[in-house]
Amino acid sequence: MNIIDMPADGTINEDVVCAHNQSRYHDTPFHQHSNHYELYLFLAGNATFWTRASAYPMKRGYLVAIPNGHWHRAVTNDDSLYERIFLNIRTNLVKDFSTFDTDLSTCFKVDKSKEINILKLNETDLSEFVSLCDKLIAVLDQPTAFGNDIRERILLSDILLLINQVDNITNQPQNIIPALLQNMIRFIDTNLANDLSLSAISQHFYLNQSYLNRYFKRYMGLSIHKYISESRINQAKILLKAGKSVTDACNQCGFGNYSNFIRAFTRYVGISPGKYKK
Share of the chain above pLDDT 70, in %: 95
pLDDT digits (tens, 9 = 90+) for 232-272: 988 888 888 889 898 999 889 988 788 888 988 888 888 88
What residue type is 47 in one-letter code?
A
CA 86 from centroid of its chain's CA atoms: 11
* Whether the Cβ atoms of residue 129 and residue 122 lie closer than 8 Å to each other: no
Helices and strands, counts by H and E, the chain? 10, 8
pLDDT at residue 200 is higher than 90: yes
- Binned at pLDDT 50, 70 and 90, residue 9 comes out as low
What's the start-to-end Cα distance of the chain, in Å? 42
What DSSP string runs through 223-256? -HHHHHHHHHHHHHHHHHHTT--HHHHHHHTT--
56 three-state secondary structure: strand
* pLDDT score for 220: 79
* pLDDT score for 35: 87
Nearest to 86 by CA among 42, 25, 47: 42
Euclidean distance between CA atoms 103 and 174, whole angstroms: 30
List Cβ neighbours of 48 (8 Å cut-off, separation of 6 or more).
55, 56, 57, 58, 74, 75, 77, 176
- Binned at pLDDT 50, 70 and 90, residue 176 comes out as confident
* Cα→Cα distances 274→228, 237, 265, Å: 21, 11, 10
Q: pTM for the complete prediction?
A: 0.78
Euclidean distance between CA atoms 73 and 8, whole angstroms: 10
**What count of other Cβ atoms lies within 10 Å of the Cβ of residue 65?**
22
Euclidean distance between CA atoms 52 and 138, whole angstroms: 33
**What count of other Cβ atoms lies within 10 Å of the Cβ of residue 128?**
14
- Mean pLDDT in the chain? 89
Domains of the chain from N-terminus onward: 16-163 (2.60.120.280), 179-277 (1.10.10.60)
Euclidean distance between CA atoms 65 and 39, whole angstroms: 5
Euclidean distance between CA atoms 250 and 262, whole angstroms: 8
Integer Rg of the chain from CA: 20
pLDDT digits (tens, 9 = 90+) for 64-98: 999 998 889 899 989 999 999 999 999 999 999 99
pLDDT digits (tens, 9 = 90+) for 37-51: 999 999 999 999 988
pLDDT at residue 224 is higher than 70: yes
Euclidean distance between CA atoms 95 and 238, whole angstroms: 21
Q: What's the burial of 202, exposed, middle or buried (CB within 10 Å: 0-12/13-18/19+)?
A: middle
